[in-house]
Structure 1
C-alpha cells in the first residue's frame, strides 16, 4: 500500500508548467492554423452566459491549478462566466475537458479602458483542477524579462481567422515574432499608445492575432524548452487583423509578476519541471542544442 501511495504522489507531482505531453507542431504557416490537439493545454475558453447557453468571448491562460490569467477588457461585471479547460474544438463535448465557474475575478486596480493600460485580470476557479495530459499550467516568465526583437512566439486562440471572418471552431496558433519596443513605439507604428508594460508581436502585414483572441496567451519558449506566457492579447488595429506596422499588442506579463503573486499567492511550478525533466536536462548538457535554438535557426 505504501508503494502505491508513493507512486500516486509521484504521478500527481509529475506535471510542472509549460511542458505539454503533446508538444505543439511548430510551423511557419501564414495567418494561423489548427493546432495539434492538447498541445497548448493551458489555453482556456472564457465563456459568458446568455439564456441557458454559454458563448466563447475571450481566451485565457491557466497559470496554476486554481488561477487563470486573462485581459481586464474581457470582463464585464454584469455577466456570468465559466472557464472551459482542456478544449480543442468548441463545438464538441471532449473527453478531458472541464467547465468550472469562477469563485472571484480580480481586475487590475489601475485598469484604464480609455488608454488600454494595465489590461490584465485574474480569475480564481471555484474548484482547483488536477493537471492531466489535456489540462496543465503555462510557466510565468521571470519578473522584468524582455523577449528580444524577432523572438519566435506563438499566439493561440479561437479568434477570427481573417478580418470580419467567423470565430474558429478548433484552437488556432500563429507564429508572431516579437517586435522590439523601440520599433513598436515609432510614430508610424503604434507610437505612444504602447507603453513599456506592453509587448508587440507580428505586424508584418501577414501575421497578427485577430479580434476574438483577446485575453489569450503569447507563448514563448524558454531556454529549458518550457513555454512561458509572455503576453496577454490586449489590442490590435481597427483597420484589420494583419495591417502593416500595426502588430498585435499584448500586456507584458513580466511587468506584472509581483501583482500576480500578490493576488494569487502563486508558487512557481518550475520545481516540478526540474524533477520531471532531469534526464532530458542531462541529455541537453551532452548536446546543448535546445528546442528553442532549433526554432530560432529557422527564422
Structure 2
C-alpha cells in the first residue's frame, strides 16, 4: 500500500507467481536465465505443477496460458513456517528466459546497515483490508531501521546484516499480501541491486502483515538475500545471465 505506480520496463527483473493450490499470488526476482528467487512461504508444500511464473508482464493478469512452468522447487531446508525464519526459495523454470524485455538482477553484496534507503516492488493489496491485487506494478520507498527499534518487536531480528532486514512500515508505505516474495532493492553505482525478499510484517503481539499492513507501529521484515548467498550458489550451481537483456539503471 502507498507508493507509486512504475513502468515495468525499469524493473524487468520482477515477476509474479501464482500458487494454484493455495489460490495465492506472490512476487519474485529473476536472478539468472532459469532461476527465480522468492519467499518459501509463497510455496510452502505446493508441487512444481501448482506454481506458474509470469515473466515480463507489468500488469497483473492471471492468464494461465502466459505462465511459465516450474521444473524444480527448492525451499530452504530450515524454513520455519511458524517463525518465518529462512524464508527463501529458488524456483528453476522449465524453459530458459529469453528476450530483451526482461533481465536479471544482481544480489547486493555490500553491508546494508541502518537508515539505508530501499524500495519494495510488487502488485500487492493497496488497502490493509483489501482483497484485490494492484493492476499495475508499484514501488514503495522505505528506510531500514536499527536493531534497537526492530528487535523490540521482532525478537529474531539481529541487525540488517543478519538473515533479516527491517524497515519502517507505518509511514504510509508498506508491503501487503501479494507483495510477498518480491524484491527489496536499492541503487548502487547507478544500478538496482537485490537487497532482500519480502517476507512479513508485524507490530508485535501477533499482529501480522495479513491483518494490519501499514498500521501503527508496523515494521516490515525482508529475507536478506546476500546472507543466503551460499544456499543460492549451492542450489543453482552458478547463475547465467539472459542473453540480450538490458543493463539496469536506477
Query: TM-score normalised by the shorter chain: which range applies?
Result: 0.7 to 0.9
CA distance in 2, matches of 1:109, 1:72: 10
CA distance in 2, matches of 1:268, 1:129: 11
**Is the CA contact 1:217–1:229 (under 8 Å) kept in the aligned structure 2?**
yes
Please, which runs of 5 or more residues in structure 1 have no aligned partner?
1-29, 278-290, 293-299
Which runs of structure 2 are paired with 1:1-299 in the superposition (5 Å)? 31-49=2-20, 57-79=25-47, 80-91=50-61, 99-132=67-100, 134-142=101-109, 145-165=110-130, 166-185=132-151, 187=152, 190-195=153-158, 196-222=162-188, 224-237=189-202, 238=208, 240-267=212-239
Please, which runs of 5 or more residues in structure 2 have no aligned partner?
203-207
User: How far is 1:131 from its partner?
Assistant: 4.3
Task: Name the structure 2 match of 1:284.
Answer: none
User: RMSD of the TM alignment (CA)?
Assistant: 2.8
* TM superposition score normalised by structure 1: 0.71
Deviations 1:241-281 (A, max 9, x none): 11233211000111001110110012475xx99xx79xxxx
- SS state of the match for residue 192, structure 1? coil
CA distance in 1, matches of 2:150, 2:216: 11
Distance 1:65 1:254, change over 3 A: same
CA distance in 2, matches of 1:182, 1:229: 24
Distance 1:158 1:241, change over 3 A: same
Greater fraction of residues in helix: 1
CA distance in 2, matches of 1:173, 1:74: 20
**Is the CA contact 2:14–2:28 (under 8 Å) kept in the aligned structure 1?**
yes
Greater fraction of residues in strand: 2
- SS state of the match for residue 155, structure 2? helix
**Is the CA contact 1:159–1:211 (under 8 Å) kept in the aligned structure 2?**
yes
Distance 1:191 1:45, change over 3 A: closer
User: How far is 1:225 from its partner?
Assistant: 1.3
CA distance in 1, matches of 2:15, 2:68: 11
- The structure with higher relative contact order (CA 8 Å, sep 6+) is 2
